[in-house]
Amino acid sequence: CSLKRTSQQPWQEYSPTTKLFIDGKFVDSQTTEWIDIHNPATNEVVSRVPKATQEEMQAAADSCSRAFHPWAETSILSRQQVFLRYQQLIKDNIKELARLITLEQGKTLADAEGDVFRGLQVVEHACSITSLMLGETLPSITKDMDTYTFRLPIGVCAGIAPFNFPAMIPLWMFPIGMVCGNTYLMKPSERVPGCTMLLAKLLQDAGAPDGTLNIIHGQHAAVNFICDNPAIKAISFVGSNQAGEYIYNRGSSNGKRVQSNMGAKNHGVVMPDANKENTLNQLVGAAFGAAGQRCMALSTAILVGEARDWLPELVERSKALRVNAGDQPGADVGPLISPEAKVRVNSLIQSGVDEGATLLLDGRAVNVKGYENGNFVGPTIISNVKPEMTCYKEEIFGPVLVVLEAADLDEAIALINNNQYGNGTAIFTNNGATARKYTHEVDVGQIGVNVPIPVPLPMFSFTGSRGSFRGDTNFYGKQGIQFYTQIKTVTSQWKAEDAGVSSPAVTMPTIR
């Protein structure tokens, strides 16, 4: 493959084997079970990742536990300094981080840089921790009495990440958890661990003490370890519904806080009064970018009224996208993560045909010269889709846009509100009243008005809802700080020396 790991760094050395990161050291696993990591553009093995042993996972959790009190007691200004240095190191290494993402995940290099950049913004926001962690005070709630709160870390926290954003999603997790004073056990996706390992090295270089971040690898056993280990107080999960529901249930039944961001089916509603040029470009970019492997991909279009006449132009623009290996100049759409994902996407496309939809653009036979073994599917558009069809009900997670039609806005809103997911949606319109009605009536957690992928910046939170989320506090922003902290409330009374309590009060103290 054209993308080989070149530099010999401590986290990789010469061996193409992903290390564990335990107690500040990048170490080889002693396991006998390994998973091959493939370049999705070629299917060549580029590395292998261990399924960490129980002893290794326990060593990682113990390291987090030992590091917790010293880190929680480190001054908030010192923790802030670590993350101020960290954001600079991420900026300095953005190209190398992106290269690792493209190598293991397949997305284009430009898109991979965007992946790092969106995570970097979370780290930059974490540097405001001195404001974000402020408590509250209420003086003189009664005579000589004040109440104030501290926002404090909760202990060892853990993150379980998906394959589709190897930088951004881990960076939603450990920087926010750690800047609050928690220590962190991270399990990256076993399909794309390389980027997380470099992020760990950079965090160490930024001055994070040994044990504050540990990294384990694996699949089910690692997930179960995290759900069951009593030292772990909170779990952040991002990935599929199957895993997310399981982790939410198992983790919370063990008394842990769990936030679980899961699958999606995001609808883009196109009103006939929208700016056509802008809308079609936005739709094509948001449906096929990252080969549709984004939880906020706009994978479903609802054309309202006369907007249905725009379909031929939608097809023309989609056809023009260049499908190629992510490191090739000019590539728009890279490969899917695995041959299994390609088989699954192709079969969902076929299900649309079998169930009576119209295949307007078929990307299944795409031929990428020089990358014949890659997991490529070209942009695909299925129209005349009905809500009961499999290609509508399932999250496809590939470069496939399914198109439905609606007579009016009410019909479009009803369709969306009947769908199980509530991650994101967008409306394209030039009418303010239409946009307002939509944003108020649609039951989806993140809404774009003429914005196709409305992922909130980190001063807000990622607020997917309904079937796309389990838990009660979201990722990053104020909600993220709340997830990773607990409140201690102090009520104190300082009376002048001669104004003490003259006799014992045995009734419930009432504060008036």
Three-state secondary-structure class, residue 20: strand
DSSP code for 444: -
Q: Does 261 bind ligand NAD (CB under 6 A)?
A: yes
Q: How far is CA 51 from CA 35, 150, 172, 193, in A?
A: 7, 39, 24, 12
One of 173, 195, 262, 391 touching ligand NAD (CB under 6 A): 262
Among this protein's residues, is 1 annotated catalytic? no
Q: How far is the CB of 378 from ligand NAD (least distance, A)?
A: 21
Task: List helix spans (H) across 320-431.
Answer: 339-354, 390-393, 409-418
Task: List helix spans (H) across 293-431.
Answer: 311-319, 339-354, 390-393, 409-418
CB half-sphere exposure, 135, CA atoms < 13 A: 15
Residue nearer to ligand NAD on the CB measure, 155 or 239: 239
Residue nearer to ligand NAD on the CB measure, 295 or 426: 295
Question: What is the number of the residue whose Cβ is closest to ligand NAD?
Answer: 239
Stretch that binds ligand NAD, among 173-181, 187-195, 368-376, 443-451 (CB under 6 A): 187-195
String marking each residue 193-222 x if it binds ligand NAD according to CB under 6 A: --------------------------xx--
Residue nearer to ligand NAD on the CB measure, 133 or 235: 235
Q: How far is the CB of 117 from ligand NAD (least distance, A)?
A: 16
Catalytic residue among 127, 180, 295, 391: 295
Q: How far is the CB of 49 from ligand NAD (least distance, A)?
A: 10
Q: Does 300 bind ligand NAD (CB under 6 A)?
A: no
Order the strands of the 232-238 sheet from edge to edge. Answer: 25-27, 20-22, 213-215, 183-187, 156-160, 232-238, 257-261, 469-470
Q: Does 295 bind ligand NAD (CB under 6 A)?
A: yes
Whole-number Å distance between alpha carbons of 133 and 172:
17
Q: Strands 465-466 and 469-470, how do they pair? A: unpaired
Contact in structure between 118 and 107 (CB atoms under 8 Å)? no
Q: Does 401 bind ligand NAD (CB under 6 A)?
A: no
CB atoms within 10 A of CB 326: 28
- Residue 234 sits at φ, ψ, to 5 deg, of -150, 145
Q: How far is the CB of 265 from ligand NAD (least distance, A)?
A: 9
Q: How many residues bind ligand NAD (CB under 6 A)?
A: 29
Chain-centre distance of CA 484, in angstroms? 16
Q: Does 423 bind ligand NAD (CB under 6 A)?
A: yes
Q: How far is the CB of 164 from ligand NAD (least distance, A)?
A: 5
Q: State the greatest distance between any 2 C-alpha atoms of the chain, in Å, as a whole number.
A: 91
Q: What angle do CA 108, 448, 405 make, to 5 degrees?
A: 90
Q: Does 348 bind ligand NAD (CB under 6 A)?
A: no
Stretch that binds ligand NAD, among 23-31, 143-151, 261-269, 276-284 (CB under 6 A): 261-269
Q: How far is the CB of 195 from ligand NAD (least distance, A)?
A: 14
Over the range 93-112, which residues count as b (16 or more CB within 10 Å of their CB) and which as e?
bbebbbbbbbbbbbbbbebb
Whole-number Å distance between alpha carbons of 295 and 285:
14
Q: Does 190 bind ligand NAD (CB under 6 A)?
A: yes
Show contacts with ligand NAD in window 118-137 (CB under 6 A).
none
Show contacts with ligand NAD in window 220-249 (CB under 6 A).
220, 223, 238-240, 242-243, 246
Stretch that binds ligand NAD, among 55-63, 109-117, 162-170, 307-315 (CB under 6 A): 162-170
Stretch that binds ligand NAD, among 66-74, 182-190, 274-282, 344-352 (CB under 6 A): 182-190
Hey, which residues are catalytic here? 295
| Contact footprint for ligand NAD (CB under 6 A) | 160-165, 187, 189-190, 219-220, 223, 238-240, 242-243, 246, 261-264, 295, 395, 397, 423, 462, 464, 468
